Amino acid sequence: MKAIVTGGCGFVGSNLVDKLINLDYDVIVIDDLSSGKKENCNDNASYVFDDFKISLLKSNGVFQDVDVIFHLAAEARIQPSFEDPLHTCHNNSYGSAVVAEFARINDCKVVYAGSSSFYGGVYLNPYAFAKWQGEEVFKMYSEVYGIESGIGRFFNVYGPRNPLIGQYTPVVAIFEEQSRLQKDLTIVGDGNQRRDFTHVYDICDGLIAISKGSWKGEVFNLGTGVNHSINELADLFGGNKKYLPSRLGEARMTLADISKTTKLTGWIPKHTLEKHVADFLLSVK
């Protein structure tokens, strides 16, 4: 099997590349390194360091005979989407159309990294809207042109290579860094907001499971079906808590219904937040 992974130097993308290589895929990564890192590269994959929209439109020889595109490249943060909604829509909506057109021309299937932000409301912030519009692009291409596409909606991903990106760092990574440095755990808002935290290895397994089927824009939730409040997460780490003002555009709760995903693909998440935190705390003792 030959696969393209857009955003394959990023957090989820690089973990996915590693899993695909272990499954003997021929993998080509496209990443402009705007958020991905070269140190996440796998020696057994091929890399194109460029904007995926430009690279795929060129359709040069390196992209021939592709079986599946895992489309993970995106502007992946809520708060910056308020500051530059045009950039967010260009990357996440128009970018999806570029991938869909490549799939149409080259007769390959697509697995798209959707977002659980859909359930908080697609008009809550530019990020949620643009990611949902990406889903709609693939549904349209499946209906009109017959391309095979599946959508995996991610729920609050954590795990190895979780990025430290200032105030927009995912909360598990924030708490890991603060715990490692023996600092207070900073909590945005009252801490009672609840999240379905999903390990990146489970997300990658879910994407691969979706890729095995023949779908026409089908949506699959990739979560655990269990959620924790931010206060509960902080309690797992231990230490003092420090509360910060709430932020605009963030949902109060995420919780995945994964029954359809399990029924149609056989995927079941294997990792728990409790074990991950316990293992982390042991590693820093």
* Average pLDDT over the chain, rounded to an integer: 95
Reported confidence tier of residue 167, pLDDT bands at 50, 70, 90: low
Q: Is the pLDDT of residue 60 over 70?
A: no
pLDDT at 249: 78
Reported confidence tier of residue 168, pLDDT bands at 50, 70, 90: low
93 by DSSP, 3-state: which? helix
Q: What does the pLDDT look like over 152-163, one tens digit per residue?
A: 999 999 999 998
Contact between 257 and 189 under an 8 Å Cβ cutoff? The reply is no
Q: What does the pLDDT look like over 120-137, one tens digit per residue?
A: 899 999 999 999 999 999
Q: What is the pTM of this model?
A: 0.95
pLDDT at 25: 98
Contact between 75 and 13 under an 8 Å Cβ cutoff? The reply is no
pLDDT at 115: 94
Decide if 127 is catalytic. Answer: yes
The domain 2-283 is classified under which CATH number: 3.40.250.10, 3.20.20.100, 3.40.50.720, 1.50.10.20?
A: 3.40.50.720
Q: Is the pLDDT of residue 164 over 90?
A: no
Contact between 73 and 52 under an 8 Å Cβ cutoff? The reply is yes
pLDDT at 79: 83
pLDDT at 32: 96
pLDDT at 230: 97
Q: Is the pLDDT of residue 166 over 80?
A: no
What percent of the chain stands above pLDDT 90? 88
CA 88/CA 73 separation, integer angstroms = 11
Rounded average pLDDT over 1-23: 98
Q: Where are the domains of the chain?
A: 2-283
Query: Environment class of residue 207 by beta-carbon count within 10 Å: exposed (0-12), middle (13-18) or buried (19+)?
Result: buried
Q: Which residue has the higher pLDDT, 215 or 79?
A: 215
CA distances, 240 to each of 183, 190, 213, 236 (Å): 8, 14, 47, 12
Q: What does the pLDDT look like over 68-87, one tens digit per residue?
A: 999 999 988 888 899 999 99
Choosing from 127, 141, 158, 201, the catalytic residue is: 127
Per DSSP, the residues of 134-195 read HHHHHHHHHHHH---EEEEEE-SEESTT----GGGS-HHHHHHHHHHTTPPEEEETTS--EE
Q: Is the pLDDT of residue 101 over 90?
A: yes
For residue 252, what are its two tokens? 């109060």
Rounded average pLDDT over 262-273: 98
CA 172/CA 164 separation, integer angstroms = 10
Q: What does the pLDDT look like over 217-240, one tens digit per residue?
A: 999 999 999 999 999 999 999 989
| Long-range pairs of 276-280 with CB within 8 A, sequence gap ≥ 24 | 276/158, 276/159, 276/172, 276/199, 277/233, 277/236, 277/237, 278/236, 280/176, 280/179
